[in-house]
Amino acid sequence: MNDTTSGILVAEAESGQKLIQWLRRRLDAPQGELHKWIRTGQIRVNGRRAKAFAPVNAGDAIRLPPFCRTLLDTPAAPRPPARPLPPIIAEEPDLLVFNKPAGLPTQSGSGHDDSLAARLAALDPGAAFHPAPVHRLDRDTSGVLLAGRTFAALRALGETLRGREAVKEYVAWVRGRWPWEDLRLLRHALRKEGPAGREKMRAYDWRTPPPGAREALLLARPLKRAERASLLHIRLLTGRTHQIRAQMQAAGFPLVGDGKYGAPVAGQRLLLHAVRLTLPDGRSFACLPAWTPPWALDAPPEPFPPCARPLDAPEAAR
């Protein structure tokens, strides 16, 4: 309903958003103006004044000031053809699971407007709610990526991942022969350092971290070992920026194709792939990387063995 007199009804997929979020998705107007319209009572929920950060629920009627009709009814500028979505691993009522290719950012940013989020939004520009990525993978990292199809699913899944309740598994090729045959714990403190635009995560001893550093934990076990390169199966226990890349560099085994944390090789892409993600309710999603021989995998590795206390694993010597 686009009647600004009686109000626009909140759709089920939008339920749970804060009022200001709902308005930002619906109206092409500066956030400061939206706050002013709420504060002065020009925007009302079910006929009553509302707070900017109060949640709106399915069926609520949002009344907009009359001059907002032009923002709603102005024809949108012609859009270029929608870019294709990455391969879909699974599709559920509240969830889409993609195999994100290397090179595609999760979110749009400075210097690029193409991203998974932008492609999802372009599928149905008039939809009440666009599916949106729940979490991020680095631009050059491929693999399993979740997108919420409703705001409630987006929020619930985001809380699950932030709370470390999900199991995130990766495969990665590293330079050199990995010296351990069994499961190993890598433990560091990571801090972002460097000039703007060229920041890197630097690893420190976790027992004597500098100010601003945050603990980073991962488990690693070898799948293949050779003199020049090794294939590792990795489980993240924390979610830090560039965590796997920074910790592997600190351990002396930079990732193959990592020009930021290792030695770049012309034409070689980063060989890091999110191979499996398992949710607390038991749903598990896996996909293989699009790597070519000799780096290719025939099948996803077996899941990590149950571990009552991951920190009991032997720590990798540094």
Active-site positions read: 138
Strands (E), the chain: 8-9, 44-45, 48-49, 61-63, 88-92, 95-100, 132-133, 142-148, 167-175, 184-193, 200-204, 214-225, 229-236, 272-278, 284-286
Question: Is the Cα torsion angle 52, 154, 200, 316 positive or negative in sign?
Answer: positive
Q: What does the DSSP 8-state code read for residue 311? A: G
The CA angle 263-229-276, to the nearest 5 degrees, is: 100
DSSP structure string for 132-195: EESS---TT-EEEEEEESSHHHHHHHHHHHHTT-SEEEEEEEEES----SS-EEEEEEEEEESS
Instruction: Answer yes or no: are the C-beta atoms of 304 and 169 closer than 8 Å.
Output: yes
Rg of the chain over Cα atoms, rounded to whole angstroms, equals 23
User: Using CA atoms, how far apart are residues 98 and 285, in angstroms rounded to an integer?
Assistant: 9
